[in-house]
Structure 1
Amino acid sequence: MTLLPDNRWTRAVAPALLLHISIGTVYCWSVFKQLIADELQVSPGAIEWGFSLAIFFLGMSAAFLGPMVEKDLKKSALLATICFVTGFVGTGVSIAIHFVPGIFIFYGGVMGVGLGIGYLTPVKNLMLWFSKNKGLATGIAVAGFGLSKAIASPIMEYLIEGVGLVNMFYILGAVYAILMLAGFAIIKRPEGYVYTAPPKESRRGALLRKPLFWGIWIAFYLNITCGLALISQEKDILKDLLHQLPQYAKLSPNAFSIAIAGIIATVLAVDAIFNAVGRLGFAALSDHMKRRESSYKIIFVMSIAACALQLVTHSIDNALFWVVLAMLFLINAGYGGGFSTLPVLLEQHFGIKSVSTTHGLTLSAWAIAGLSGNQLASFVVTHASDQAHRYAAVIPVITVLYAVALLSIWLVSRVKPQVDAEKLL
Structure 2
Amino acid sequence: MSSAADVARPPGVGFLDRENTVAKAGFNRWLIPPCALAIHLCIGMAYGFSVFWLPLSRAIGVAQPVACEGMTLMTALFTTTCDWRVSDLLWMYTLFFVVLGGAAAIWGGWLERAGPRKAGLVSAVCWCGGMVISALGIYLHQLWLMWLGSGVIGGIGLGLGYISPVSTLIKWFPDRRGMATGMAIMGFGGGAMIGSPLADILMRHFASPAGVGVWQTFLVLAAGYFVFMVSGALGYRVPPENWRPSGWTPPAAAGTRMIATGDVHLKDAHKTPQFWLIWVVLLTNVTASIGLIGVASPMLQEIFGGRLIGAAGTAFLDFTPEQRTAAAAVGAGFVGLVSLFNIGGRFFWASFSDRLGRKTMYAVILALGIALYAALIPFSASSGILFLFVASFCVIASMYGGGFATVPAYLADVFGTKFVGAIHGRLLTAWSLAGVFGGLITGNIRDAQIAAGVPREAVYQPIFFTVAALLAVGFVANLLVRPVAETYQMRQEAKGVATAARGGAAAAPAFGDHGIGRGGFNGPAIAAWVAVGLPLLWGVYITLLKASALF
Corresponding residue for residue 32 of structure 1 = 52
Separation in 2, partners of 1:173, 1:127: 29
SS in 2 for 1:173: helix
Separation in 1, partners of 2:327, 2:228: 36
SS in 2 for 1:38: coil
| 8 Å contact kept, 1:203–1:357 | yes
Separation in 2, partners of 1:252, 1:373: 29
Corresponding residue for residue 232 of structure 1 = 294
In the TM superposition, residue 320 of structure 1 has moved relative to its aligned partner by: 1.7
Corresponding residue for residue 67 of structure 1 = 109
Gaps of 5+ in 1: none
1:293 aligns with 2:359: yes
Corresponding residue for residue 158 of structure 2 = 115
Separation in 2, partners of 1:393, 1:139: 32
Write the deviation string for residues 149-198 of structure 1: whole angstroms up to 9, x where unpaired. 1111111100010011111000010000100110121111124579xxxx
> 1:4-403 maps to which residues of 2 (within 5 A)?
6-10=27-31, 12-39=32-59, 41-73=83-115, 74-163=117-206, 164-191=213-240, 201-204=264-267, 206-245=268-307, 247-248=310-311, 249-250=313-314, 252-289=319-356, 291-310=357-376, 313=379, 315-384=380-449, 385=452, 387-388=454-455, 389-403=458-472
Separation in 2, partners of 1:125, 1:309: 41
SS in 1 for 2:49: helix
SS in 2 for 1:189: coil
In the TM superposition, residue 415 of structure 1 has moved relative to its aligned partner by: 4.1
SS in 2 for 1:6: coil
Separation in 2, partners of 1:423, 1:268: 50
Q: One-letter code of the match for 1:207?
A: A
Q: One-letter code of the match for 2:373?
A: C
Separation in 1, partners of 2:320, 2:498: 64
Shift in CA distance, 311/288, structure 1 to aligned 2, threshold 3 Å: closer
Write the deviation string for residues 85-139 of structure 1: whole angstroms up to 9, x where unpaired. 1111211111110001112111110000000000010111111111211110000
Shift in CA distance, 277/200, structure 1 to aligned 2, threshold 3 Å: closer
Q: Between 177-186 and 111-120, report the one with greater CA deviation.
A: 177-186
| 8 Å contact kept, 2:377–2:389 | no
Separation in 1, partners of 2:119, 2:112: 9
Separation in 2, partners of 1:311, 1:35: 34
Write the deviation string for residues 281-315 of structure 1: whole angstroms up to 9, x where unpaired. 111111112x31111111111111211333662x2
Q: One-letter code of the match for 1:34?
A: L
Separation in 1, partners of 2:294, 2:382: 18
In the TM superposition, residue 265 of structure 1 has moved relative to its aligned partner by: 2.4
The total of aligned residue pairs comes to 415
SS in 2 for 1:288: helix
Q: Relative to total residues, which structure has the larger helix share, 1 or 2?
A: 1
TM-score scaled by structure 2? 0.71
Corresponding residue for residue 404 of structure 1 = 473
SS in 2 for 1:317: helix
In the TM superposition, residue 347 of structure 1 has moved relative to its aligned partner by: 0.7
Separation in 2, partners of 1:311, 1:149: 26
SS in 2 for 1:114: helix
Separation in 2, partners of 1:406, 1:103: 39
- Of the two, which has the highest radius of gyration? 2
Q: One-letter code of the match for 1:285?
A: F
Shift in CA distance, 200/8, structure 1 to aligned 2, threshold 3 Å: closer
Q: Between 135-144 and 382-391, report the one with greater CA deviation.
A: 382-391
Separation in 1, partners of 2:230, 2:480: 42
Q: One-letter code of the match for 2:471?
A: Y
| 8 Å contact kept, 2:378–2:461 | no
Separation in 2, partners of 1:145, 1:162: 26
Corresponding residue for residue 246 of structure 2 = none
Write the deviation string for residues 317-372 of structure 1: whole angstroms up to 9, x where unpaired. 33221121122111101100111110110011111001011100100111111112
| 8 Å contact kept, 1:244–1:319 | no
In the TM superposition, residue 263 of structure 1 has moved relative to its aligned partner by: 2.0
Separation in 2, partners of 1:416, 1:81: 36
Shift in CA distance, 386/316, structure 1 to aligned 2, threshold 3 Å: farther
Shift in CA distance, 15/305, structure 1 to aligned 2, threshold 3 Å: same
Write the deviation string for residues 186-235 of structure 1: whole angstroms up to 9, x where unpaired. 111124579xxxx995224x333222111000010111111112212211
Q: Between 236-245 and 249-258, report the one with greater CA deviation.
A: 249-258
Separation in 2, partners of 1:59, 1:66: 10
Separation in 2, partners of 1:345, 1:410: 13
Separation in 2, partners of 1:417, 1:228: 34
SS in 1 for 2:355: coil
| 8 Å contact kept, 2:101–2:425 | yes
Q: One-letter code of the match for 1:61?
A: A
Q: One-letter code of the match for 1:37?
A: S
In the TM superposition, residue 386 of structure 1 has moved relative to its aligned partner by: 5.4
